[in-house]
Chain A
Amino acid sequence: DAKTTQPTSMDCAEGRAANLPCNHSTISGNEYVYWYRQIHSQGPQYIIHGLKNNETNEMASLIITEDRKSSTLILPHATLRDTAVYYCIVSPLYGGSQGNLIFGKGTKLSVKP
């Protein structure tokens, strides 16, 4: 079972920041937080990951609370092409025994003009 909780859906106006929350209250010290998104039926696309510190790349920023029990993915200037299902995934260091990612239901983000 997924170890994260996300809202089922969110709307965001084009050009505004999209802030997607995720709760992972049972996360352990040796687990990363990963974010992926899936546009329609395409392959999941990696966005960003972090362990303790906040992270930023060309796609997004990841803010992890100090107690690591929740995080927020920030898309700074959402476009229509950012409409997708966003998955927050907790995964052990080194991928764990099977290495697979446990996908929950994610958040369906709709970016509106």
Chain B
Amino acid sequence: DADVTQTPRNRITKTGKRIMLECSQTKGHDRMYWYRQDPGLGLRLIYYSFDVKDINKGEISDGYSVSRQAQAKFSLSLESAIPNQTALYFCATSDLQFGGSDTQYFGPGTRLTVL
């Protein structure tokens, strides 16, 4: 969805390097998420934020940190990258709708390789 953008789209880095993945959205949504996907597996939640002042750990937050700079921006950092963090990373946004649905919209993903 073009309303959710991620940079970079591809990144190769070395073990021990610090790296930041960025996500921006123009949908005006309050909620933002970071997921990772490993080959042949489903998406797993790393961090989520329900508004600018709200940051929460997800299922697999160890080795990662995040920053919610504004409603539209949510960044994911790997402080010291390691090879098993090689994966596809997806950002998503959502906003509660009348009736309680919470549809998420995903960015195109960042393919990260840690050597």
A94 near B88 (CB under 8 angstroms)? no
B43 near A103 (CB under 8 angstroms)? yes
A21 within 8 A of B: no
Contact of A99 among B33, B43, B99, B111 (CB under 8 A): B33
B79 contacts which chain A residues (CB < 8 A)?
none
A91 near B102 (CB under 8 angstroms)? yes
A57 to B102, CA, bound (A): 17
Contact of B99 among A51, A100, A104 (CB under 8 A): A51
Central interface residue in B42, B43, B106, by most chain A CB within 10 Å: B42
A-B CB contacts (within 8 Å), total count: 69
B65 contacts which chain A residues (CB < 8 A)?
none
| Residues of chain B at interface, number, CB under 8 A | 30
Given contacts A94-B100, A103-B42, contact A45 B48 (CB under 8 A): no
A106 to B43, CA, bound (A): 11
A99 contacts which chain B residues (CB < 8 A)?
31, 33, 48, 50, 94, 102
A59 within 8 A of B: no
A interface residue numbers (CB < 8 A to B): 2, 30, 32, 34, 41-46, 49, 51, 87, 91, 93-95, 98-106
B interface residue numbers (CB < 8 A to A): 1, 4, 31, 33, 35, 42-43, 45, 48, 50, 56, 58-59, 88, 90, 92, 94, 96, 99-109, 111
